Homo-oligomer: A and B are copies of this chain.
Amino acid sequence: MTDRRRTILEGAARVIARRGVRGLRVSEVAAEAGVSTALVYYHFKDRPGILRHALAFIGDRADRYTSAAQEPTAAGPEDPRERLERMLLLEFQDLPEVRENSTAWGELRAHSVFDPELREELATAGAAWAAEVAELLTVACPGAPGPAAGAAAERLTALLEGLSVRWLSGLVRQAHARELLRAAVRLEVDRLAATIT
């Protein structure tokens, strides 16, 4: 990605996280990024083009800060369930970048209820995320049936999305959201382990 494209998408993510998608104008994104409106159109064609690219950009950033959880730690090989917990819990961090990213992603998701424009991108990103979680569940429970791991992954990611909105709107404290999610991972892993004959 060129620096100019990145600057514009960073600006779009900030605007979306600050005031939402609805009523978002291309001129606001341009002003936030410190470039001309014409340059935004040149790179992303139109408003839906900006939203689609912003979604991919925000998804990539989330991958970056959660994939840190997948690196081997100095302490040596880690329990696969703990690795999965660590990856999911990184979505609840009181860092400005994480909060901005989660807010923008949640808003794009909420917006898709009203506007089918982003549905395909959200479906693709959601499927990739669930597949990654299912893969880690299978590592944690070797021999677990694929469909059971897939359903568990869908529940864990949907729970995380529900908790994320509560956290970002101040309805639940971060530590409590993390505790609820950690318990859910344990429940799902234990159940998957019990399905292995």
Contact surface of A with B, Cβ cutoff 8 Å: 18-20, 22-23, 103, 106-107, 109-114, 116, 119, 122-123, 126, 151, 154-155, 157-163, 165-166, 168-172, 179-180, 183-184, 187-188, 190-191
Contacts and interface: CB of A to CB of B under 8 A. Distances in A.
Given A23-B22, A114-B19, A159-B162, A154 B169 contact: no
Give the dominant DSSP class at A's interface.
Answer: helix
A20 B155 contact: no
B116 A106 contact: no
A25 to B, nearest CB: 12
Contacts of A163: 158, 162
A23 to B, nearest CB: 5
Given A123-B171, A158-B180, 5 more contacts: A22-B23, A110-B165, A157-B162, A158-B159, A160-B162
Question: Closest 3 CB pairs between A and B?
Answer: A162-B162, A110-B110, A158-B162
15 contacts: A22-B23, A110-B110, A113-B169, A116-B169, A123-B171, A126-B171, A151-B183, A154-B172, A155-B180, A155-B183, A157-B162, A158-B166, A161-B161, A161-B165, A187-B191
Contact of A119 (B20, B161, B169): B169
A13 to B, nearest CB: 15
A113 B105 CA distance: 12
A110 B106 contact: yes
Copies in the complex: 2
A167 to B, nearest CB: 9
B106 A169 contact: no
Nearest to A126: B171
B119 A171 contact: yes
Contact of A113 (B106, B162, B180): B106
Contacts of A188: 187
